[in-house]
Amino acid sequence: MKILVTGGAGFIGSNFIYYLLENRPEYETVCLDKLTYAGNLKTLDSALKSGKVTFVKGDIANRDFVDELFEKQRFDVVVNFAAESHVDRSIESPEVFLQTNIMGTASLLDASRKHGVKRYHQVSTDEVYGDLPLDAADSFFTEETPIHTSSPYSASKASADLLTLAYFRTYGLPVTVSRCSNNYGPYHFPEKLIPLIITRALNDENIPVYGQGLNVRDWLYVEDHCKAITMIIEKGRAGEVYNIGGHNEKTNIDVVKTVLSILGKPESLITYVKDRAGHDLRYAIDPAKISGELGWSPETKFDEGIKKTVKWYLENKTWWEDIINGDYKDYYEKMYSGR
Ligand code: NAD
Ligand code: TYD
């Protein structure tokens, strides 16, 4: 089985590569990644040493390059993680989101069609459903919830998601789509909430909380997401969408306070800042379809997963210190100064 993992030098893609190495040693993996600011080849160090993973640097939106790669490698399965993934950046500069997330997906779909890929899996997001109100705790996203996006990021992901489904209906390409809730775990880039809290708290720096910190996210340990994707590509039905989430809703302020308490840092580090434009209120997944049909359920509870994650950041300081001491400094200054 030869599998192409795009975006494998980023957070979830790299965890997926390590998940396959551990659980599917018979798979041969090729990682295609452009190595944008979010991609880090050091993350894949030990995967590349295993001899079962090879790395190719390139842009999923470069059609000629993608076509040649597919021609040469003859992939059985493609899993597309490659994307611009940060909502705040999409508010500042939407264009690259359209280019990578939409045009890049289109280029992979065309190559998959042309070269007879047996399964194309699109890693989508629950953000395609927009948000749920804060005062309706029994409402959840199902696969039937209408697509209703809020940010340039989610709009670009929804376009890619729908295009993938169109390739099934129109051309019969055997696709699957997963829409997962917020992930956390090792190798998470420190611009996102949980690694931002950990890395800033460890340096005794303030933690910026948008608005009143009452927005709700449904957190899933990244390994549980990787397990779900593996089940979908192996047993999921072509043409289907699967929601992934483990009923783990938390307000942002709860998450911040939990991490500060694990680290023994004071709540006085919390700083409320101007809210994100168009900020989605609440995400919450109903995972009944993937549980019932494929037997998936999450293994890591939030209390355990968050402690494991904090421990990983404590034990892997050079990984994130190299990031926050690089271009990230300018990013942080630009996004947060005067906010
Ligand atoms: P990430 O930003 O950490 O990683 C993205 C990776 O894609 C990076 O390695 C980057 O170099 C690469 N990339 C970007 N543009 C590329 C291009 N044009 N060609 C090739 N490679 C390119 O993102 P992540 O958090 O790991 O998310 C992975 C996928 O999962 C994304 O599609 C995202 O929309 C989806 N998702 C993420 C979450 C989450 O909580 N992080 C939840 C649900 C879905
Ligand atoms: P984020 O990790 O960017 O994921 P997403 O927006 O895709 O859900 O943000 C998670 C939540 O945390 C979201 O409600 C915005 C909030 N947030 C803050 O309060 N402060 C921050 O500095 C960041 C990056 C996010």
Distance 178 CA to ligand 1 centre (A): 14
Distance 237 CA to ligand 2 centre (A): 33
Which protein residues touch ligand 2 with a CB less than 6 Å away?
87, 182, 192-193, 196, 208-210, 215, 217, 252, 276
Choice from 189, 197, 217 to test ligand 2 binding pocket (greatest atom count within 8 A of CB): 217
pLDDT of residue 339: 87
What phi-psi label fits residue 264: left (phi over 0), alpha (psi between -120 and 50 degrees) or beta? left
End-to-end CA distance of the chain: 49
From the first residue on, what is the mean pLDDT of each consecutive set of 10 residues in the chain (339 residues)?
Answer: 98 98 97 98 97 97 98 98 98 98 99 98 98 96 98 98 99 98 98 98 98 98 98 98 97 98 98 98 98 98 98 98 94 93
Report the distance separating Cα 233 and Cα 97, nearest Å: 25
Contact in structure between 204 and 269 (CB atoms under 8 Å): yes
Respond yes or no: is residue 92 known to be catalytic: no
Atom 41 of ligand 1, nearest CA residue:
183
Respond yes or no: is residue 126 known to be catalytic: yes
- For CA atoms 171, 172, 173, 177, give the dihedral sign: positive
Does ligand 1 lie within 6 Å of residue 87's CB atom?
no
Annotated catalytic residue, options 127, 161, 218, 224 = 127
Does ligand 1 lie within 6 Å of residue 18's CB atom?
no
120 forms beta bridges with 78, 175
5 forms beta bridges with 31, 79
pLDDT of residue 162: 98
pLDDT tens readout for residues 252-293: 999 999 999 999 999 999 999 999 999 999 999 999 999 999
Distance 103 CA to ligand 1 centre (A): 15
pLDDT of residue 276: 98
pLDDT of residue 69: 98
pLDDT of residue 338: 86
Respond yes or no: is residue 110 known to be catalytic: no
Q: Residue 144, SS3? A: coil
Q: Two tokens at 20?
A: 């396959």
Distance 1 CA to ligand 2 centre (A): 37
Alpha-carbon separation of residue 44 from 9, 131, 250 (angstroms): 7, 34, 31
Ligand in closest contact with the CA of 200: 2
Report the distance separating Cα 301 and Cα 296, nearest Å: 14
pLDDT of residue 56: 98
Does ligand 1 lie within 6 Å of residue 226's CB atom?
no
